[in-house]
Amino acid sequence: MKKFSLLFLSALLVFTSCDNDDNADALTEADVARIVAAALADANIPSSTQIASEVTTAVIAAIDSGISVEEAVAQALAAQNANTVEEVGATGEITKLTGTINWTSDTTYIIGGKVVVMDGATLNIEAGTLVKARSGLFNDATALIIARGGTINANGTAAAPIVMTDINDQLTRQDIANRRVVSSNRTASDRGKWGGLIVLGKALISHEGGEERPIEGIDPPAGETWNKYGGSDDADNSGTINYVSIRHTGISLAPGNEIQGLTLGGVGSGTTINHVECFGSDDDGIEIFGGSVNLSNVVVTGAKDDSLDTDEGWSGTIDNAVIEILDYTDNAFEYDGPRAALGRKNVTQNVTVNIRYSGANTSEDTPQLGQLKENLSSTFNNILVNVAAGREADSGLESMKNNHGTYKGVATGVHQSFGTAAAGTEYIIFDDFTYIGASTQAQIVGGNTVDSSGYTDVNTAFASWCTILADRSSLVGSEGADPDEFGGWTAWSASF
């Protein structure tokens, strides 16, 4: 029989004794839960609400089969130890990973505090691996950070995605192995349970403060710089992120300062991001601060603020994305250009935006398709917007409604030209938008008219870049994203 320490035995003796089986019958579930908590601590098994509940249930079932309480606990702990759990970091701490670190699918990794892959280090995450994050508010919030010069190789597959979620999500690695990717106790409305994934690189950023700056909300000890991003290497390589689902993120680092599901700061084009999901963020889904990284096959569901947020002169491409707007979401797109000067165009193409919730929107801001502002130079091509009845007011492009149709740059006062051909050279290009529903031209872009600069006007040219259809029957099938890229491995595909 397993030998236990005084911590466990003292808890056990309060409720029962090994030579009196009648006392076992008198145990309540709360009694067993307290015994289990002491036993988990005694065995040094990282615990959570889920783990404690699973072990307690197993102990009760074993007691009901007629064995002693002590033996029931020993069996349950042995089974839990077989389901390997590894603790990385602790709430409120900073844990620096160096060398080569391998996370494998036979282990559930529980991270706490700031877990930082340092310059020169590589974190390899095997397909099917489950990562669970502890909570902790403000400076104690948990985040996985890839510092400049660090590398993450998170190589999931459609059959075995990598899932990063919170510690009380009841999803298990056995669920992932059996292709059950939806949690039994979490939905997209469960937000702000931990921070998120932050990748920092050495690519060019455009900001008044120079080419290197700290990522928002992350404060290292004095003299340490692992929170900085930016540089001069647009081809910088921070690794690979394939088939990774990041869930229930966006916890506050400070009032009004949250981490996104996926934050990319100065990440270069050598980095591969292909098939990534952000599900239920209490801030943005994905935020990109400068750099030149490209993203493909992206799905963002139920971000509280913006689904896709770009800033500081990002010059990459987002290709094939689905955005699911829920009844608390702000923008699908919030795109800012370089704060220092014009230049560096980005492209967003083959995107489906679903604005199909019912009831009132509780967003802290105006729910809408997007805001385009601050010297932006960007092309939007092949955008499909599904608009539910009653949600037509949410389909607008705010800056196109509030400024001239030729779009006036906020910082410079330069009128940025507007075009309707994807291969054009204009600053702002809209090509091939399709709206399904009853949205009107006025709701989408307002009543802008061309000004004295004589550039093409977003309203005058409306019919050349936007089509409004009453229903989906007239679609030809190539509009928007290819949803087949998200089947089977995302929470979105199983939930909507």
Domain boundary among 82, 112, 135: 82
Q: Which of 82, 110, 138 is the last residue of a domain?
A: 82
- Residue 164 confidence (pLDDT) above 90: yes
Going by DSSP bridges, is the β-strand pair 130-133/228-229 parallel, antiparallel, or unpaired?
unpaired
Structure confidence at residue 20 (pLDDT) = 44
Q: Could you tell me if 490 and 188 are in contact, meaning their C-beta atoms sit under 8 angstroms apart?
A: no
Between residues 446 and 175, the one the model is more confident about = 175
The whole-number average pLDDT for the span 169-187 is: 92
Neighbours of 238 (CB within 10 A): 31
Q: pLDDT band at residue 453, thresholds of 50, 70 and 90? A: low
Query: Does residue 381 belong to any structural domain of this protein?
Result: yes
Residue 27 has pLDDT above 60, yes or no: yes
Q: Are 344 and 314 in contact (CB under 8 A)?
A: yes
Res 449: pLDDT: 62
User: Looking at the predicted structure, is the pLDDT value of residue 408 above 80?
Assistant: no
CA 412 to chain centre: 33
Confidence of residue 25 (pLDDT cuts 50, 70, 90): low
Asked if residue 5 has pLDDT above 60, the reply is no
Return the minimum-mean-pLDDT range out of 62-76, 188-202, 470-484: 62-76
Range scoring the smallest mean pLDDT among 35-49, 199-213, 400-414: 400-414
List, for residues 265-287, the tens digit of each pLDDT value: 999 999 999 999 999 999 999 99
Question: Are 364 and 330 within 8 A, CB to CB?
Answer: yes
Answer whether residue 296 shows pLDDT above 90: yes
pLDDT of residue 460: 85
Least confident of 174-178, 192-196, 445-449: 445-449
CA distances from 299 to 156, 218, 325, 400 (A): 15, 26, 11, 25
Model confidence at 393, pLDDT cuts 50, 70, 90, reads: confident
- On whether residue 190 sits in a domain, the answer given is yes
Asked if residue 125 and residue 262 are part of one domain, the reply reads yes
Which range of residues forms the domain containing residue 142? 88-495
Q: Do 397 and 372 touch, CB atoms closer than 8 A?
A: yes
> Which residues are CB-neighbours of 349 under 8 A, at least 6 positions away?
317, 318, 319, 320, 379, 380, 381, 382, 422
Question: Which pLDDT value is given to residue 108?
Answer: 93
Percent of the chain residues topping a pLDDT of 70: 85
Mean pLDDT of all residues belonging to the chain: 87
Quickly state the pLDDT bin for 1 (edges 50, 70, 90): very low
Q: Are residues 77 and 94 in the same domain?
A: no
- Mean pLDDT confidence for 74-102: 86
**Same-domain status, 168 and 310:** yes
Q: Is residue 490 part of a domain?
A: yes
Domain-embedded: residue 348:
yes
Q: How many domains does the chain have?
A: 2
The verdict on 216 and 305 lying in the same domain is: yes
Rounded CA separation 323/354 (Å): 6
3-state secondary structure 151-167: EEEEECCCCCCEEEEEC
Asked, for residue 407, whether it belongs to a domain, the answer is yes
Q: How confident is the model at residue 208 (pLDDT cuts 50, 70, 90)?
A: low
Q: What is the pLDDT of residues 334-354, one digit of tens each?
A: 998 876 665 689 999 999 999
Q: Is residue 42 part of a domain?
A: yes
User: Of 21-30, 116-125, 245-254, 416-425, which range is least confident?
Assistant: 21-30
Task: Identify the three-state secondary structure at position 146.
Answer: strand
Q: Are residues 301 and 402 in the same domain?
A: yes
Tell whether the model's pLDDT for residue 11 goes beyond 60. Answer: no
Same domain, 183 and 320: yes
Give the pLDDT confidence score for residue 64 in this predicted structure.
Answer: 83
Does the pLDDT value for residue 405 go beyond 60? Answer: no
430 part of a folded domain: yes
Q: Are residues 66 and 134 in the same domain?
A: no
Same domain, 92 and 64: no
Q: Given this model, what pLDDT does residue 374 score?
A: 73
- Same domain membership, residue 232 and residue 108: yes
Instruction: Record the tokens describing residue 266, joined without a space.
Output: 């100065």
Residue 1 lies in a domain: no
pLDDT of residue 187: 96
How does residue 18 score in pLDDT terms, banded at 50, 70 and 90? very low
Q: Are residues 176 and 28 in the same domain?
A: no
- pLDDT range class, residue 413, cuts 50, 70, 90: low
Tell whether 75 and 103 lie within a shared domain: no
Residues 353 and 423 occupy one common structural domain: yes
Report the range of poorest mean pLDDT among 159-168, 249-258, 424-433: 249-258
pLDDT in tens, 302-324: 999 999 999 999 999 999 999 99
Least confident of 40-44, 73-77, 389-393: 40-44
Domain end, chosen from 66, 82, 98, is at 82
Question: Alpha-carbon torsion 401, 403, 408, 411, what sign?
Answer: negative
